[in-house]
Amino acid sequence: MKKNTFSILLVVGIILVANAISKQLFFRMDLTADQQYTLSHATKNILKNLDSPVTVKAYFTEGLPPQYAKVLQDFRDMLVEYSNVSKGMVDYEFVNPNEDPEVEKELNQLRIPPILFNVREKDQLIQKKGYMAAIIQLDEQKDVIPVIQSGLGMEYSLTTGIKKLSITDKPSVGLIQGHGEPGFQDLAQAYQSLSILYNVENVDLSAESSVADRFRAVALVNPRDSIPADHFAKLDDYLNRGGNLFIAYNAVDGDLQNASGTAHTTGLETWLKGKGLEIENSFVVDADCAPVSVQQRQGFFTINTQVRFPFLPLIKNFPEHPITKGMEQILLPFVSPIRFTGDSLSTFTPIALTSSQAGIIKAPTYFDVTNKKWNDSDFPLSNLVVAGILEKKSTAAASGKIVLIGDGDFAVGGQNRKVNKDNLNLFVNSIDWLSDDTGLIELRTKGVASRPIKDEYLGEDNAGKRNFLKYLNFGLPILLIVIYGIFRAQRQRNLRIKRMQERYV
Classified as helix, coil or strand, 248 is strand
Whole-number pLDDT of residue 67: 76
Q: Is the pLDDT of residue 189 over 80?
A: yes
Question: 262-280 as b/e, with b when 16 or more CB fall inside 10 Å?
Answer: ebbebbbbebbeebbbbbb
Q: What is the mean pLDDT of residues 77-101?
A: 89
Quick check: bond before 380 cis, omega within 30? Answer: no
Q: Is the pLDDT of residue 394 over 70?
A: no
Instruction: Report the distance separating Cα 15 and Cα 223, nearest Å.
Output: 66
Instruction: Report the distance separating Cα 313 and Cα 331, nearest Å.
Output: 6
Q: Is the pLDDT of residue 96 over 60?
A: yes
Whole-number pLDDT of residue 430: 95
Q: Is the pLDDT of residue 157 over 90?
A: no
Instruction: Report the distance separating Cα 250 and Cα 385, nearest Å.
Output: 15
Q: 134 forms bridges with which residues in the sheet?
A: 58, 145
Q: Across 36-45, 247-256, 411-420, which has the greatest mean pLDDT?
A: 247-256
Strands 358-362 and 402-405: unpaired
Q: Is the pLDDT of residue 448 over 70?
A: no
Helices (H) and strands (E) in the chain, counts: 11, 23
Segment among 107-111, 140-144, 249-253 with least mean pLDDT: 107-111
Q: Is the pLDDT of residue 297 over 90?
A: no
Q: Which of the four pLDDT bands, split at 50, 70 and 90, describes residue 2?
A: low
Q: Which strands form 252-255's sheet, in the order they lie side by side? A: 252-255, 260-263, 365-366
Strands 260-263 and 277-279: unpaired
Whole-number pLDDT of residue 257: 87
Contacts of 147 by beta carbon, 8 Å cutoff, 6+ apart = 115, 132, 133
Classified as helix, coil or strand, 203 is strand
- Better-predicted residue by pLDDT, 8 or 256: 256
Nearest to 59 by CA among 128, 110, 127: 110
Are the C-beta atoms of 226 and 255 separated by less than 8 Å?
no
pLDDT above 70 coverage of the chain, percent:
86
352-378 pLDDT, tens digit per residue, is 999 999 999 999 999 988 888 899 999
Whole-number pLDDT of residue 193: 87
pLDDT above 90 coverage of the chain, percent:
43
Q: What is the mean pLDDT of residues 278-296?
A: 90
Number of CB atoms found within 10 A of residue 83's CB: 19
Number of CB atoms found within 10 A of residue 255's CB: 11
Q: Which of the four pLDDT bands, split at 50, 70 and 90, describes residue 206?
A: very high
Q: Which of the four pLDDT bands, split at 50, 70 and 90, describes residue 109?
A: confident
Q: Is the pLDDT of residue 22 over 70?
A: no
Nearest to 199 by CA among 185, 184, 186, 209: 184
Q: Is the pLDDT of residue 325 over 90?
A: no
Are the C-beta atoms of 423 and 190 separated by less than 8 Å?
no
Q: Is the pLDDT of residue 25 over 70?
A: no
Whole-number pLDDT of residue 163: 87
